[in-house]
Amino acid sequence: MTDNVVCAGCLRDNEEEITVMWCNDCEEPVCRPCGKAHRRFAIPNDVIDIKDISSVNKTMTKICKEHTGQKLIFCCVNHDKIVCHVCISESHKECDINHIEKAAKGIKDSSTIHDLKERIHKQKGIIEKVKEENNELSSKIKKDKEQQQERLIQLRSTIEDRLNLLDKNIETHYKQGVEKVSSNTEQLESLAQTTQANLQDIEKADTEESEVNLFHLVKRLDTSQLSDEENLQFLENDISNMSLQFIPENFIEKVDAMLNEFGHDAQTTSFKSHQSGTKALQSQIQVHSDEKHSLGQHQTFHAAESSKFYACCFIDENEVIVIESMEEQNDWGTVGTTLYLKAINLKDGKCNSFNISNGCSDLCKDTLCTFDRNNILIVAGDKKSVKVFDLEFKKLARTIKLNILFALCEWVTCIESQIVVFCYPYKNQKKCQIISWIDYNGQLLKTINLPDNICDLDIIENFQRRKLCDLYNFLWCDLYMLH
């Protein structure tokens, strides 16, 4: 405590007296007269010379933070907490309370001091270790920055080279197209002249020439006309197929989205986090290479002995939902099957499930999908409706009836806010298999007929293409073009 510190009590009365003492009970510096006054209280305060005050006393408060001005002179045994008398009356009426002097007795010889010292020493060592890691991180991110900038230069150069080549190709094909258009113009003009001349000849011969001469003319013009018609058909097809579409529609948006993903996995908060982020980025890049890679780290979740897992889908990248069938004994002693929706956290393995058999006598266990974060779609057992289960409230939210004539639902998925169902005809019905789009209220939006014998369906490339296959054949079908 420096010599120029003034007495706290005198300062409150707008006076300035140099402090020479310290009141441990009030936790403030006092001058000599005030120190004598503190010792003369009904319950004398502990006043010592300011030179004898320890650094602990300077920083350690003995006043209750919750009740202004109240001293912490009691200890609650139940909550292991130092309290004031107001704390006791408010929150510790039923607790075992000791005076702080009784609670503190023997503390110097207890294991508490030893354990606390050991924890502090351990933390000190951890701090030094983390400091070293932080220093390593500083040099590593600097090296990473240089490496990434070098890769960025290479990427920019590669992209520029490709764009320059593309620009040359566009210009070359444009010149070829201009030449083709010029050639087509000449051929069309020649055909037009020939056609006009033939028309004039046959009209004139029809009225002026003999039948023999007309017959010769018809045969000659017929051969010529056939050749001209073939040439015209060729030109027509050539013109309709000519295009300079080197950059597909929406390609720029896709490239922008891909570039936007760069750096999302980068971590600079700690050395270990930065390493894991780099590995994740490397694994994503390797997917596009032609080399064969072994399967990375994976997790396996096993059903219980009396349970079976059926259809599953991702809620998000860290959680998956699965239909679980469990053999259970009811109140009458008979064993029945109960269906549950089980959400599994892929990070910590924790599960959360609820019964979906209540109110639903039968469900298709082999298909489900997410409509959004909280709603799961499952095809009903009669295959004439889709059940919506709410994960937040853990119950059946609604039933979407499918008003599709002569068809039963086999499979369900979602494309944004629209529900897509794959249906097949009733038994003995001749209608083909179909894919139908419906909204959340079951309103039919559109339907596409499919070939017979379709047994599976998948959606890729922004939901524009689907693959359809049966036991013997594989069919690639562009549904975007169909509708």
The pLDDT tens digits of the residues spanning 274-295 come to: 333 333 222 232 333 344 444 4
3-state SS of 234-272 is HHHHHHHHCCCCCCCCCHHHHHHHHHHCCCCCCCCCCHH
Q: Which residue range is the domain that position 95 belongs to?
A: 8-103
Residues 355 and 239 both lie in one domain: no
For the segment 327-342, the average pLDDT, to the nearest whole number, is 80
pLDDT tens profile 442-465: 788 888 887 766 666 666 544 444
Statement to judge: residues 65 and 160 lie in one domain: no
Note whether 35 and 68 are same-domain residues. yes
């258009």: which residue's tokens?
181
Q: Of 48-52, 115-119, 283-287, 301-305, which gets the smallest average pLDDT?
A: 283-287
Q: Token digits for 50? A: 């300011």
Separation of alpha carbons 21 and 48, rounded Å: 6
Same domain, 261 and 354: no
For residue 97, the cross-strand partners are 76
The whole-number average pLDDT for the span 148-171 is 91
- The Cα–Cα gap between 317 and 373 comes to 12
Domain termination residue (choose one: 87, 103, 119)? 103
Q: Contact at 8 Å (CB) between 34 and 6? A: no
| Structural domain ending residue among the three candidates 195, 227, 246 | 246
Would you say residue 299 lies in a domain? no
Is residue 149 very low, low, confident or very high in pLDDT (cuts 50, 70, 90)?
very high
Same-domain check for residues 370 and 464: yes
pLDDT in tens, 346-379: 888 888 888 998 767 689 888 899 888 888 999 9
Residue 25 lies in a domain: yes
pTM above 0.85, yes or no: no
What's the CA gap between 438 and 76, in Å, rounded? 64
Tokens describing residue 13: 């009365």
Give the span between the Cα atoms of 296 and 62, in whole angstroms: 57
- The one-letter code for the residue type at 238 is D
Region 175-204 average pLDDT: 90
- Pairing type for strands 319-329 and 335-345 reads antiparallel
Same domain, 193 and 281: no
Question: At 123, is the pLDDT very low, low, confident or very high (cuts 50, 70, 90)?
Answer: very high
Residues paired with 163 in a beta bridge = none
Q: How many domains does the chain have?
A: 4
**Has residue 360 been placed in a domain?**
yes
